[in-house]
């Protein structure tokens, strides 16, 4: 058994894999430009209601494909930022607006899976392992 297979087995034992509604918290979010300021605020409130002030890992999926994997000390801030990036550049995107370009090309309903991890070390490790195993589309995006 390869090291990759062993790591996948470990993540399955820890109920980190598969990324599914059985093992992760999940919600759907419509990534597109809101009709007005009120709709945008409603989306922010919806996101906040889903993840509150939790730290963890999040996985964006669309049509059964892994788009993006990230980690955050405050999931709300990161997911809100990606939502905004689907229709507008966000200050702090220092990589040639890479996130805005990526998320604006993947508008529409996305499934967001998230799992609570308090420790930064755990978040880093799980993000790396999931990225290696799930190969999100963002990895190849230029």
115 has which bridge partners?
Answer: 57
CATH code at 59?
3.40.1440.10
Q: Is 3 a domain residue?
A: no
Model confidence at 99, pLDDT cuts 50, 70, 90, reads confident
- Range of 94's domain? 19-136
Domain count, the chain: 1
DSSP secondary structure letter of residue 66: E
What are the angstrom distances between the C-alpha of 54 and each of 44, 59, 77, 138? Answer: 15, 15, 10, 24
Model confidence at 95, pLDDT cuts 50, 70, 90, reads low
* Least confident piece of the model among 35-39, 64-68, 100-104, 107-111: 100-104
Q: Is 6 a domain residue?
A: no
Candidates 120, 140, 137; CA nearest to 60 is 137
Give tens-digit pLDDT for 39-92. 999 999 999 999 999 999 999 999 999 999 999 999 999 999 999 999 988 777
Q: Is 13 a domain residue?
A: no
- pTM for this entry: 0.94
Q: Is 85 a domain residue?
A: yes
Q: Is 7 a domain residue?
A: no
**Torsion from C-alpha of 14, 19, 21, 24, nearest 10 degrees:** 50
């Amino acid at each position: 058994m390869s090291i990759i297979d062993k790591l996948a087995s470990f993540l399955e034992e820890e109920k980190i894999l598969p990324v599914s509604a059985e093992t992760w918290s999940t919600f759907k979010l419509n990534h597109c430009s809101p009709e007005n300021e009120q709709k945008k605020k409603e989306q922010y409130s919806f996101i906040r209601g889903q993840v509150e002030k939790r730290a963890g890992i999040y996985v964006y999926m669309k049509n059964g494909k892994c788009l993006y994997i990230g980690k955050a000390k405050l999931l709300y801030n990161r997911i809100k930022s990606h939502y905004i990036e689907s229709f507008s550049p966000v200050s702090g995107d220092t990589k040639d607006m890479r996130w805005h370009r990526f998320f604006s090309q993947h508008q529409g309903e996305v499934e967001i899976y998230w799992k609570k991890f308090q420790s930064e070390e755990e978040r880093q490790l799980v993000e790396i392992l999931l990225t290696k195993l799930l190969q999100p589309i963002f990895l190849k995006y230029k």
